[in-house]
Structure 1
């Protein structure tokens, strides 16, 4: 019996090591293959191939699997697209993106607590809206509208599906529509901050949408958990979020702002 336990422990250690190793290869490979080829297609294909289990189901379960994996797909594609948008010159941002994607795959993605789900959703919003803005800044307005709808829908569903709310599908669609409307409005209000030292481009809309989702998430969490809603319990995140948005919009809204 003791020998069996030791064998099981050994297999678990080997499995954990291999899981971390292959995820590290995916994180580094998807970023640097995008940089080395100067094309987002190989990196995006690598992300899709890594999700092969999502397709290994009966056709009737494929759409459900796709919805369940949307946040992970958004994050993976976002790292690839941000790498592509950072240009063909090797910059610190490429190493930062590779490390962050590896950390997402190895550390954050496997977590399933309520707090972890919230962080995962916020990262999907921040990275997804950043990548969408950089990749579709000069494209037809339909592209950012559709992609932002998917980001809003996926982020809301990722958090709400873990609760007992029977209206999570409706609320997810509502959040997607809010994101789509915001993306449409941003076609006439496109502000991008450039961090020249590291080569990072940060759209203002990504900060605002992430802040809004953070605030809405806090409010929804308090409403869902408490019988009596008290504004004092959400005063701090509300004041912080509104102050941050006002400061960004009023003082950092030049057509081009270099940091």
Structure 2
């Protein structure tokens, strides 16, 4: 498990980033060691792992500071060794939330200047795959429908905010909004599915979500020229 992150780190250090990404993708070869009709299902099942792995490689390549690269290498190792193999509800939920956060972060950090349609499509794909992964650990009869609803919301938000595409440092505004709403809704769903969602806790979570969104909207500079 540690060999892959170390090899990826070495490839990034010698500026073979594309080769590092190819190596990460090749490490998922077991997805295709079955009949072709099972490939789409296996690809969706492994989507969170692919999103996180590729994102961490790109984060590693996005900096020339060695200790930051070592940090991302250690994070990738922790993902492969500790979090990825776990299948309990909480761990799968964390996997999905990380997949969405890191996937969107890479999308807007590395490809923020691409055409709007590409950003919308990329946002839809990341949100859909993350939602599907999150819902797989629950006995949810409408997994595909709920995942599509969340992906449609994310894509719609990307279409609207993509005309401004505001950044807080290196973090796009849409990531803050989708993370706040997504994590909040995921927490509500998780607590409700375990019969731990009280009315007070629900109000507190909704209030926190609203407060964060209000701060984001009020403090953002909306006077820029749209594109």
Q: TM-score, normalised by structure 1?
A: 0.77
Distance 2:105 2:42 in 1: 25
Cα RMSD (Å):
2.3
Secondary structure at the aligned position of 1:206 is classed as helix
Distance 2:109 2:34 in 1: 34
Matched, 1:72 2:49: yes
Question: 1:12 — aligned with what?
Answer: none
Aligned length: 223
Question: 2:182 — aligned with what?
Answer: 213
Q: TM-score, normalised by structure 2?
A: 0.87
1:132 positional shift: 0.3
Name stretches of at least 5 consecutive residues in structure 2 with no aligned partner: none
1:51 corresponds, among 14, 19, 28, to: 28
1:35 positional shift: 4.2
Name stretches of at least 5 consecutive residues in structure 1 with no aligned partner: 1-22, 195-200
Distance 2:221 2:35 in 1: 49
Secondary structure at the aligned position of 1:240 is classed as helix
Given the superposition, is the C-alpha separation of residues 147 and 35 from structure 1 closer, same or farther in structure 2, using an over 3 Å criterion?
Answer: farther
2:59 corresponds, among 42, 66, 82, to: 82
Given the superposition, is the C-alpha separation of residues 99 and 68 from structure 1 closer, same or farther in structure 2, using an over 3 Å criterion?
Answer: same
Question: 2:218 — aligned with what?
Answer: 250
Distance 2:41 2:5 in 1: 25
Distance 1:120 1:160 in 2: 11
Deviation per CA, 1:8-62: give whole Å up to 9, x if none. Answer: xxxxxxxxxxxxxxx222223324423421x542121011111011111100111
Distance 1:253 1:151 in 2: 26
- What does residue range 138-177 of structure 1 map to in structure 2 within 5 Å? 138-177=113-152
- What does residue range 1-259 of structure 1 map to in structure 2 within 5 Å? 23-37=1-15, 40-84=17-61, 86-87=62-63, 89-194=64-169, 201-226=170-195, 231-251=199-219
Runs (4+) off by over 6 Å = none
Secondary structure at the aligned position of 1:188 is classed as coil
Distance 2:171 2:217 in 1: 14
Contact kept, 8 Å, 1:31 with 1:79, in 2: the verdict is no
Distance 1:150 1:78 in 2: 14
